[in-house]
Amino acid sequence: MHRALLISSVAYRGFSGRFKSRFILSASFKLIQARLISSHYNMAKYSVSVIGSGNWGSAIAKIVAENAAEKSDIFESKVRMWVFEEIVNDKKLTEIINTEHQNVKYLPGIKLPVNVVAVPDLKDTVKDADILVFNVPHQFLPRICKELKGAIPPTVRAISCIKGVELSADGITIIADYISKELGIYCGALSGANLAPEVAQEKFSETTVAYKIPDPNDTINKKVIKSLFHRPYFHVNVIDDVAGASLCGALKNIVALASGFVDGMEWGDNAKAAIIRRGLLEMTKFGRDFFPEVQAATFTEESCGVADVITSCSGGRNHRLGAAFIRTKKPVFELEAELLKGQKAQGVTTAEEVHQFLKKRGVSKEFPLFTATYDIIFNGLDSTALPAILEQVEQNPE
């Protein structure tokens, strides 16, 4: 149900004439006042829908549903989750989720709350929702937005859990901004050192939610967003820097590939630490150079920044691919298909896109690690050249 001010007639008659006049306002202003005067009326709750049901989508739906059930004063209990319908063991996946409360294909062994309701129709999933959580592979997003265009009121708010950005030689599009533009709603971003199976198993982790309130009087504020995602095992820090959080989610994959090169050469932990440090410097520089509003602290202090880089460089898919590429000398896309079984290592594509972006602007040499990572994958550069390449930009004492 969309948020509305529902003042009981008894309470309303009890107000003074002056106080009554404050409520003879537009519907939008009544929405703003809703939480401030909650003791005087019955309040509609926020309805939340999750778009996506892969392992990360299901893990996020679990978190959201737990909070929706516990915080009945803020959220509607039922959380709808859009599921691309598939047949698993001769049953519809939605039927399995709704009866067995488990996503047996993408998150097996994890019980989902009973208030997670799997829905195969996209428009039915988002109907009457106040908050949308996007969690699909980014290549499916254009089709989803096309189907939803015109079906979502502008008062709806969204959070994108889709890591990365859309990059080309011509420019950069933040995923959250893409959703905002296509659907006419405000969208923030959730990103962090969050491996879906560990989060689903309720192993402690942190995340960053970047959410800059579009209107200071918006009732879906940072407190509401934190209430939606924060759990005892999943700690949330809310910041304003949507662009910075989104860039972290993309650029860290290039650093993870480079750390994989180091492990493939068996250079040890000191070398990997050096790559991580240099990677963070280039990530921060990239953000500040091309998005002036980006905050350096997002890269160095937040889960979406330094913590996600560390996790990704410790055994994520891009790290594994980078190590295998050095050890086997096989073509990178052949290795990707072999190692990841249909999943994609976004670092390879991102390395290529970032290179084209930097090359067009004539600044490739200012990002030696990003450039060397591209050259190692696509141009046959010997990975043992990394220290000499990085030394070229190191500062010497005067």
Catalytic residue IDs: 252
Q: Report the distance separating Cα 185 and Cα 156, nearest Å.
A: 6
List the Cα angle 91/92/98 in 5-degree steps: 105
From 249, 137, 251, 246, select the one nearest 193 (Cα to Cα).
249
Q: Closest Cα to residue 286, out of 257, 252, 261, 328?
A: 252
**Hey, is 90 helix, strand or coil?**
coil
> Is 131:220 a contact under the CB 8 Å cutoff?
yes
Which tokens go with 368?
């030696």
Terminal Cα distance for the chain, rounded: 66
- CA nearest neighbour of 133 among 58, 50, 61, 224: 50
Burial class (CB in 10 A: 0-12, 13-18, 19+), 212: middle
Strands (E), the chain: 5-6, 42-43, 46-51, 75-82, 87-88, 91-92, 116-119, 131-134, 157-160, 165-168, 171-174, 186-191, 205-210, 234-239
H-state helical runs in 22-165? 27-33, 55-70, 93-100, 122-126, 141-148
Q: Could you tell me which residues are beta bridge partners of residue 235?
A: 206
**129 three-state secondary structure:** coil
